[in-house]
Structure 1
Amino acid sequence: MIYFYNLLLLILCYLSEINSARILGIIPTPSISHQIVYRPIWKELSQRGHKVTVLTTDPINDSSLKNLTEIDLSFSYDLYNNKHNFSDKIDKLAGKPLEMVNAIITMNADICDEQLKHPKVKRLINDPNEHFDVILVEILQPCMFAFAHRFKAASIGVVSMDAQSAAYDSVVNPTHPILNPDFMLPLAGKLSFFERVFSVVISNVMRVYEFLFIIPINDKVIRENFGDDYPSCKDFIQYLDMLFVNVHPILSGIRPNVPAVVNIGAGLHIQSPKSLPEDLKSFLDNAPSDVIYFSLGSNVKSKDIIPSTRQIITETFAELPYTILWKFEADSLPNQPKNVKIMKWLPQQDVLRHPKIKLFITQAGHQSIEEAIFSHVPMVVMPFFADQEGNAKRIVLKDIAVKVDHKELTKESFKSSILEVMENKKYRENVKKLAELLQDEPMTGLEKAVWWTEHVIRHKGAKHYRSAAIEMPFYEYFLLDVIGFLLLVLFIVIYVSVKMSKLVFKVIFKLCGGEKPKFKRH
């Protein structure tokens, strides 16, 4: 009997090994908001028996996950914060989308180059015995798609927010510039005429910019680190098997998706409730009033906003009849009001769940918005860069937030916005209804991400969901040849009709005696 059980155990282990796959995850962006979205995916895939290797700037470091290997790229934060000083550029380049994109692309390419030169990453690239069945790559970093070519593996593009138009283009997903403006543009809802013009022009300028600048700078990084014989990253991206987008259509806007696009939002990164640190719990429990939570996220730091804006914020807080909990990254806050408590770091999801929190003042990052919605907390949004302006406009249209402009902030406007949300019940009622809608789904985002990843593994890719439009030249896709042909036919018909009319007129003229018809003048 013992022999039988041992044999059965060996058979089960063997079958498990057969059904497991080797998965490579690459999330190179040095920002915790980008990393936390994928952690549940790595955990679930590894717990299902797959061997998962992840290149990440923020390792989980969980020894219980035996099938998960992490390559620590946390040194990238030094490049982000010091070499490129991106936090400072956020304020300087506000309202300049193309310059902001240029700064992001240049920085990302430099970071990618340094990450590929990391000893453990180079060992991975050069190991002739290494292989992977599928690679999940953050699509914001095109240079990293060279790993798909290196390992001849199926590839899935992933993005922690909405995808840029170029990403949707890679799987030939419809990208209507009026109905679905690029997520980097400060547009949402029904656009005015000039907003429509702006969206159409900038969307196409960004496509040209990608071809002339983004692709070449990433190709240079690829050939320096993988070899001169490597194809362009554009070729890798165009052969994506799938694209996982961490948005929910109710939040991001309804758009038609090809089967290769899988929406894995909303709330993928939301964790189970945990107890707050004792000092923080005591502060919130004993607060003499309702509490407003203020955080500008991980990329925009409160300590770096310009002094005049920070002064307006502190003066406004001092006049409010509420307690303020402020994520402030420095040791002290100049002119700190008595009703304000600062902390360098906070467990945001659990802070938002506390019953005393009645308002969240946020930069409108995608993950922060989802955390507030799932905690039923309305918002005052203060966007700074990238997708934040568009995110802010979308949730204002949902009546769960009020937007303020940090560049034109006044004490009066800031205070009235805060009081509007705090005192008007509609915002809290609407955010609760929205949370219920987002959660009324047949599958969670995590379940969809894992199921479709394993689908790609089982079938060695997902070319069966590949749109036929990928193989079309642009003139066929945009019907230019058909339109040209129809215009030519129309021209010929009109030309022949005119000629025939003249001929008929001449015949009638001759039959009438050759005299031109005379008309009496009145």
Structure 2
Amino acid sequence: MGALIARLPLLLLALGLWLPAPTHAARILGIFPTPSISHQLPYQAVMKALAARGHQITVISPDPLKEPVTNYTDIDLSFSYKLFRQMITFADMSEVDPVTVVKLLTPGYFQLVDEQLGSKQIQDFLKYNASQGFDLVFYEWWGYEALFGLIHAVGSPPQVGILSFGGTVVQWRSIGNPHNPAINPDALTGFTDQMTFWERVQNLMSNIILTWHWEGVMFTEHEKIMRKHFGSAPPPVYDTSRNLSLLILCNHWTLEYPRALLPNVLQLTGLHVREETRPLPGDLQTWIEGAEHGVIYFSLGTNILCKDLPAEKLQAILRALARLPQRVLWKFENDELPGRPPNVRVAKWLPQQDILAHPKVRLFITQGGLQSFQEAAYHAVPLLGIPFMGDQQYNVAKMVSAGIGSRIPLKDITEDSMYAATMEMLENPKYAERMRRFSGVYREHKARSLETALWWVEYVLRHEGAPHLRAASLRLAWYELLLLDVAAAVALAALAALLLAAFALRRLWRALRPSTAPAHHARLRKDQ
């Protein structure tokens, strides 16, 4: 015992050398403009966890916390929801390709950031908070580049990009991460990693068109909006977009596909998923437990409004559900649903995670939103997808390829097709069994996601932006990155070598070829 005590200082010294240096309590700014709670939930999870570790957090978003958190200050942009709803009716997007959806939403993005930057909330923030400076900025890396002026206004600290889904070619380019369209389907396509020839063609064209639209059209307009509000001081939006210390993507290969990643790109999952469940409100618990044949949960998320579905599709779904022995719990925006059968219950808001955790829930009918996918994966509930927009086609394609779900496009929904798709999911045991195995893998990685995010954020703080993680590809022109200059040099060298060889062979042939001139002159003399 005495020997152990004598060695204690050495042990403590060794432990101190092994542990990373402590991170000081930093001032961290989060810029999350999207008026959609499904986007905000994973961001809030990271920000609240950082606040719990003593960091001073300020968040600019349309979704302020409902309950105050120590060290956490909200800049409330909730007025953005009204404008966002006026942009487009998302229920109409089921047959529009994802790149076109981005193009349709683009004018709305411009108007949204312009009004947000001109708001009293942002102006007051700039007046009273920006001058104090921040040690780190999080920003939602999706279509809001005019807000990069805020980064410069708070002192241009290191930047962490975060996105509520798995990313597109735009995000991969911004951090310099390899992206091979032959094997990596873009998150805005409905493809898997087993693409046919024509799917690879479409994936490549989608990458090219999205890059051109984003960096050509969107960057140009956002540059104008940023200059309107911040003048000439901030650097160009293109430069800021490529100045990331860390990129956090709130999706993971367990819910999509393996890809090569740089060390400063994090794929995380289930950041918002709670491990503990809460009691269901009112008589909902009794209603679910009284379902002899189980319960189907039906929700199209926060952006797709069921009341906006075509009337004939809505009635076809209702007639199909009426034929089922199961009870159906439907998140619906109105107090009542015309034609609702007795086995269907509707509510404007439902505690989705706690419902999915209930053992009586046998199927989740979903639009394919990523946060819903993550919750279903955690609680091992098979899925029937009706995808509409964004990454929903991509997520539903993964459900189908993994054997944990099925897909029914809105255009194909009839009473019989909806009934058949639902019964197949309920009666075929392979979906529940595969989902149980899928959930086991998912849970193992979900358990470390938030911890991983916190470690890397504080790593960036400790190492002043961690510039040593930046990829060399960010310094190369596009033709250098594709080795076109090398290929051109090799081709020119090969051509020069061929020309030189041809010239040498021609000279050699002339030198070795027997001369016919003397014999010709001899014949002439003989004739004379």
TM-score (norm 1): 0.91
Counterpart residue identity of residue 41, structure 2: I
Answering whether residue 422 of structure 2 is matched by residue 418 of structure 1, we say yes
C-alpha deviation, 1:414, in angstroms: 1.9
C-alpha deviation, 1:28, in angstroms: 1.0
Query: Which of 371-380 and 448-457 deviates more?
Result: 448-457
C-alpha deviation, 1:257, in angstroms: 0.8
In structure 2, the partner of 1:72 is 76
Q: Structure 2: which 5+ runs fail to align?
A: 1-21, 520-528
Answering whether residue 138 of structure 2 is matched by residue 136 of structure 1, we say yes
**CA deviation profile, 1:357-376 (whole Å, cap 9, x unmatched):** 00001000001011111111
Matches within 5 A, 1:336-351: 336-351=340-355
In structure 1, the partner of 2:329 is 325
C-alpha distance in structure 2 between counterparts of 1:372 and 1:277, whole Å: 20
Matches within 5 A, 1:373-522: 373-441=377-445, 444-510=448-514
In structure 2, the partner of 1:4 is none
C-alpha deviation, 1:119, in angstroms: 1.5
- C-alpha contact 1:93 1:100 (8 A) present in aligned 2: no
Counterpart residue identity of residue 21, structure 1: A
Answering whether residue 307 of structure 2 is matched by residue 297 of structure 1, we say no
C-alpha deviation, 1:197, in angstroms: 1.0
C-alpha deviation, 1:264, in angstroms: 1.9
Counterpart residue identity of residue 192, structure 2: A
Flag as ranges the 4+ runs of structure 1 deviating above 6 A. 511-515
Q: Structure 1: which 5+ runs fail to align?
A: 1-16, 516-522
**CA deviation profile, 1:216-238 (whole Å, cap 9, x unmatched):** 12112211222233322111111
C-alpha distance in structure 2 between counterparts of 1:106 and 1:118, whole Å: 18
**CA deviation profile, 1:147-182 (whole Å, cap 9, x unmatched):** 222222111000011112111111100111121122
- C-alpha contact 2:64 2:74 (8 A) present in aligned 1: yes
Give the share of equivalent positions with the same residue, in percent: 33
Counterpart residue identity of residue 323, structure 2: E
- C-alpha contact 1:148 1:154 (8 A) present in aligned 2: no
**CA deviation profile, 1:452-504 (whole Å, cap 9, x unmatched):** 11111122212110111111122211111110000001111222223333344
Counterpart residue identity of residue 168, structure 1: W
C-alpha distance in structure 2 between counterparts of 1:267 and 1:477, whole Å: 34
Matches within 5 A, 1:212-291: 212-291=216-295
C-alpha distance in structure 1 between counterparts of 2:141 and 2:480, whole Å: 27
Counterpart residue identity of residue 106, structure 1: P
C-alpha distance in structure 1 between counterparts of 2:446 and 2:307, whole Å: 42
In structure 1, the partner of 2:13 is none
Answering whether residue 211 of structure 2 is matched by residue 207 of structure 1, we say yes
In structure 2, the partner of 1:41 is 46
C-alpha distance in structure 2 between counterparts of 1:18 and 1:348, whole Å: 36
Does the residue aligned with 2:132 lie in a helix, a strand or coil? coil
C-alpha deviation, 1:126, in angstroms: 3.2
- C-alpha contact 1:56 1:70 (8 A) present in aligned 2: yes
In structure 2, the partner of 1:145 is 148
C-alpha deviation, 1:271, in angstroms: 4.9
C-alpha deviation, 1:194, in angstroms: 1.2
Matches within 5 A, 1:77-116: 77-81=81-85, 83-84=86-87, 86=88, 88-92=89-93, 94-116=95-117
Alignment RMSD (CA, Å): 2.1
- C-alpha contact 2:370 2:392 (8 A) present in aligned 1: yes
Query: Which of 111-120 and 93-102 deviates more?
Result: 93-102
Does the residue aligned with 2:453 lie in a helix, a strand or coil? helix
Does the residue aligned with 2:170 lie in a helix, a strand or coil? helix
Answering whether residue 187 of structure 2 is matched by residue 195 of structure 1, we say no
Query: Which of 502-511 and 39-48 deviates more?
Result: 502-511
C-alpha distance in structure 2 between counterparts of 1:179 and 1:137, whole Å: 28
Query: Which of 436-445 and 105-114 deviates more?
Result: 436-445
- C-alpha contact 1:267 1:371 (8 A) present in aligned 2: no
C-alpha deviation, 1:507, in angstroms: 4.1
C-alpha distance in structure 1 between counterparts of 2:446 and 2:32, whole Å: 28
**CA deviation profile, 1:247-288 (whole Å, cap 9, x unmatched):** 111222111111121112245433521111022112111123
Counterpart residue identity of residue 138, structure 1: E
In structure 2, the partner of 1:50 is 55
- C-alpha contact 1:186 1:390 (8 A) present in aligned 2: yes
C-alpha deviation, 1:92, in angstroms: 4.8
- C-alpha contact 1:268 1:444 (8 A) present in aligned 2: no
C-alpha distance in structure 2 between counterparts of 1:505 and 1:408, whole Å: 74
In structure 1, the partner of 2:33 is 28
- C-alpha contact 1:40 1:269 (8 A) present in aligned 2: no
TM-score (norm 2): 0.90
Does the residue aligned with 1:368 lie in a helix, a strand or coil? helix
C-alpha distance in structure 1 between counterparts of 2:384 and 2:371, whole Å: 15
C-alpha deviation, 1:89, in angstroms: 4.6
C-alpha distance in structure 2 between counterparts of 1:437 and 1:483, whole Å: 43
In structure 2, the partner of 1:313 is 317
State which of 61, 77, 86 in structure 1 corresponds to 2:66. Answer: 61
In structure 1, the partner of 2:190 is 186
Equivalenced residue count is: 496
Answering whether residue 364 of structure 2 is matched by residue 363 of structure 1, we say no
**CA deviation profile, 1:404-454 (whole Å, cap 9, x unmatched):** 111122222222221111111111111111111122249611111111111
**CA deviation profile, 1:298-333 (whole Å, cap 9, x unmatched):** 111111111111111111111122111111111221
C-alpha distance in structure 2 between counterparts of 1:168 and 1:209, whole Å: 15
C-alpha distance in structure 2 between counterparts of 1:155 and 1:68, whole Å: 19
Does the residue aligned with 2:485 lie in a helix, a strand or coil? helix
C-alpha distance in structure 2 between counterparts of 1:119 and 1:323, whole Å: 48
- C-alpha contact 1:268 1:446 (8 A) present in aligned 2: no
C-alpha deviation, 1:512, in angstroms: 9.9
C-alpha deviation, 1:508, in angstroms: 4.4
C-alpha distance in structure 1 between counterparts of 2:294 and 2:515, whole Å: 98
Does the residue aligned with 1:444 lie in a helix, a strand or coil? helix
- C-alpha contact 1:326 1:340 (8 A) present in aligned 2: yes
Does the residue aligned with 2:298 lie in a helix, a strand or coil? strand
Pair 1:168–1:18, CA change in 2 (3 A): closer
C-alpha distance in structure 2 between counterparts of 1:210 and 1:441, whole Å: 32
State which of 152, 169, 176 in structure 2 corresponds to 1:172. Answer: 176
C-alpha distance in structure 2 between counterparts of 1:314 and 1:323, whole Å: 12
C-alpha deviation, 1:72, in angstroms: 1.3
- C-alpha contact 1:189 1:394 (8 A) present in aligned 2: no
C-alpha distance in structure 1 between counterparts of 2:316 and 2:188, whole Å: 28
Counterpart residue identity of residue 279, structure 1: D
C-alpha distance in structure 2 between counterparts of 1:330 and 1:149, whole Å: 44
Pair 1:498–1:92, CA change in 2 (3 A): same
